[in-house]
Chains A and B, each alone.
Chain A
Amino acid sequence: MKALRAGLISAGVALAALTAANAEAQDGHVTWHDDGSVDLIMEDGAVIKTSQEELGSLFGPGEKPFEGTTITVLTLDSGPRGGISGPIFSFRPIWEELSGGKLEIALTPITDLYAKMMLDLRQGTGLYDGIIVGAFFYGDLVAGDYMLPIEEFMESGEHPQWTYDSMPDSLKTLHTWGDTGYGVLNDADGQVLYYRRDVLNDPEHQAAFKAEKGYDMPVPPKTWQQLLDISQYFDGKNWDANDDEPDSGTVLHLKVGEQGHYHFQSLSASFAMTPGEAVTQYHNVYWFDPTNMTPLIDSPGHVAALEFLQELHKTGPEAQVGWSLGEAWDYFLRGKSVFVFSWGDVGSLCQDESRSKIKGICGSALMPSSDKYWDHENGAWVETDDPQPVGNTTGGSWHGVISAFSENPDAAYSFLSLMAIKPSSNWGAYHGWTGVDPGYYYQFLEPLGEAKIEDYVAAGWHADDVAEYTQAYYDNFTAPTILTYLRIEGAPEYWDIMDKNLSAAMSDQKTAAEALSDTAATWEEITDRLGRDKILKQYQEAIGYGG
């Protein structure tokens, strides 16, 4: 009997120990090592390796610096495994374990994010401690003094360590206003060209292209005009072995109310911007005349670019007028088009074999340039045999800022900066589903940056795709001329009407000139309504115009 009782007790103790061990295994998202290294364990089992030093002085074994604190982060809603919102879900249990705090995630459709954010900020309710914003919200955020500067948090050494120095200037600009930093590193948006490396390098197609167009097919194309020729050559031919259907040249995502207008921005920059040493009334400007806010959107350069985009659209499926990002990307990933120009997500999604049939043959390059551009100063076209690259930061570069109404700004910063440390940022950039795109120096390959091909290969990339991809993004973000970013109050309204008119042009309801002329007219009304002097001042500050 005694032996039985002892046995039962032993079994009970063993069961309790086993249960405790299981609980630890299930709940444990952070492992502290004696050598100072720390493993952050994601819910899918992936391990992000960091160090106690990188995590800042507040976090440590047994420390719960934000115990009893609840913070709320507002973000666009792509779900727990979707772009931008997905990583927040992934890092939540890690931060909660590190901090002892609680993170609430407030989700809203991307189309409602601006309104929901502004409603909270204008009412001063302070529902959200951190907000994941697009850089085009900055005009409103700065004008209302709705964001907290983050330098104090960065310099305290208490929080996870990252720096603006890892950003090219083109991206740093989007996270700061003047000399003040507001945005916490996360996503780096910019569009590059993706192409089918195998198809464009096929000798048979090369020869046939030369016979048809009269010149060697450049791989990748350097000018938009070359890209159109190549796109026209491949459109309607069944050049891909994945199915028996004819394939396309270039696929675009053109649905109104979504992100179709970004295509136009990226493409038109090299048609419509006059390059120069500095930002002047005529040079390096795209949206407005920086002396009086007269719209430039209907300039001959912009009109020619839109006419070009209409031509390019004819080399893709007609249905793309109603397509969002996902449909267009999938079309390219299924091997149905030679080209797509879009964000960094495409490069990493090429590596996801559950969606992609083109892993290892997914080429990337800096966006082509136009072989002619509009000279705003002289009012004439300039033709060039050596078109200069024009980079872009098109998109939102979605990143966190701290609400001025937050009662727990340090906790909010703590969470956002956890996602901003180098290994977290790399984890996001390597995995397409996260929506977090690369653009920081440590993500470019040596010697331009710190990364190695093996880093990407270890994350599941095909080695052949890595070098071009990272080079394309390096070239894009460090290009001598960069498409200026619209950061003024009411930017979503300016873009809303542009988006509708562009869509009308792409669906043949308006000519390119009509669409852009109508856009310019509405922009004048918006500027007058919001206050021309106020908007002009913001615009000048945002683009660094010194007069």
Chain B
Amino acid sequence: MIRWTKPVKFVFLLPAVFWVLAFTVFPLGYSLYISFHDVDRKVVVTGREKVPVLNEAGEPVLKKSGEPRTKTVVHRELQTNFTWNGFASFIRAFGDEEVGSAVKVTAIFVFTAVTLEIVLGFLLAFLFHRYIFGRAVLRTIMILPIFATPIAVGYLFFTVFYEIGGPLEFMGIPWLSQPDWALVSVIIVDIWQWTPFCFLVFLAALQSIPDDLVECARLDSGSAWDLWRIVVIPMMQPVIIIVLLLRLAEAVKLFDIIATLTKGGPGIATQSYSYLAFTRGFKLNDFGYASAMAYLLLIVVMIVVTLFFRRLRQTYA
């Protein structure tokens, strides 16, 4: 049996440590840093020099005119100026009308979409927990949307919600051109994609409840409601909390569907918080502000997650 000495153990840990430092800690730290600074970082050209192009033999390559062909060597200098701006970016976010609207849009989306996904997922799981004809096939079909790329789903539903000539035209609903309906459209797409996930996890949880426990409860209590209230729901509570947590964490990051379906419009009616932060950072190069926005979101999500985990611990306790 090999007995690893302490230093060797640490050597094996190094790749993981490097990975965490490079791809988690550093980006977090750097984005926190720039959220407190005005960043003026640019490279300037300090000189350009023409040098002859050489062939494999090291001789200058000549043009038709006999002059040597040249290439340009660019001399550059990094100019970095980080100016401490304190909480200016964070304060700016609190006064930004767009941020306020994005928070509202995100909150409506998260509350509506996640609630409906969990309710529908639970109902579907209950349905599939019993025997129905073609259950295996239907179950497979049911979970297909999970595997679709959100960007592709966005484009798919762009054609579905197309108001003139689209398959839902007969309904006469202004799916993408009226602000409220546009948000409903985004919610529908998310429900379509993520209800199957809730369904799948709930179904697994239902099927893991021991049959003898259910039978005992059935004998002790005559009502189906009591069976659900006393046995099924409590047994599933940890799973429900985990699903809720996962969906909340995912839903507050709503981006892909907006990017492909509505671009945040009409106006800013469907502009989610993440989409706004993205456009500020990557479309308008306002990285300090975008970082501050991202941290504000992180704080809110951490508070919510902490509350949920506390509840989870209490449940297990």
Contact = CB atoms under 8 A, between A and B. Distances in A.
A250 interface: no
Contact of B42 (A124, A256, A322, A496): A124
Interface of B: 41-45, 53, 61, 63-65, 69, 71-74, 76, 78, 97-98, 162-164, 174, 176-179, 182, 262-269, 271, 279, 282-286
Nearest to B271: A500
A158 to B, nearest CB: 8
A320 B71 contact: no
Contact of A123 (B43, B162, B164): B43
B270 to A, nearest CB: 9
A126 interface: yes
A122 B42 contact: yes
Given A58-B63, A319-B164, A124 B43 contact: yes
A32 to B, nearest CB: 14
Nearest to A260: B265
Contact of A256 (B63, B98, B263): B263
A319 B177 contact: yes
Interface stretch (A42-50, A184-192, A216-224, A505-513): A505-513
A509 B266 contact: yes
Question: For this complex, into which size category does the number of interface residues on chain A fall?
Answer: 35 or more
B174 A318 contact: yes
Contacts of A320: 177
A-B pairs with the 9 shortest C-beta distances?
Answer: A124-B43, A504-B267, A256-B265, A257-B263, A507-B266, A319-B163, A322-B176, A321-B177, A122-B42
A67 B42 CA distance: 32
Interface in A41-67: 57-58, 60, 63, 65, 67
Of B44, B162, B263, most A-chain CB atoms within 10 Å: B263
A68 interface: yes
Given A58-B64, A145-B44, A318-B163, A257 B264 contact: yes
Contacts of A371: none
A216 to B, nearest CB: 33
A533 interface: no
Interface string A249-261: 0000001111000
B284 A496 contact: yes
A518 B97 contact: yes
A147 to B, nearest CB: 11
A319 B182 CA distance: 11
A256 B174 CA distance: 16
A83 interface: no
Contacts of A322: 163, 176-177, 182, 262, 265-266
A404 B78 CA distance: 14
A517 B265 CA distance: 19
B279 A124 contact: no
Contacts of B64: 57-58, 60, 63, 65
Nearest to A320: B177
Contacts of B98: 497, 500
B250 to A, nearest CB: 23
Nearest to B53: A68
Given A506-B266, A507-B177, A510-B267, A407 B73 contact: yes
A144 interface: yes
Contacts of A255: 263, 265
Nearest to A68: B53
Contacts of A9: none
A118 interface: yes
B100 to A, nearest CB: 13
A86 interface: no
A295 interface: no
A320 B177 CA distance: 7
A69 interface: yes
Of B71, B176, B267, most A-chain CB atoms within 10 Å: B267
Given A145-B44, A407-B71, A509-B267, A118 B177 contact: no
Nearest to B65: A57
A319 B172 CA distance: 11
A317 B266 contact: no
Contacts of A115: 282-285
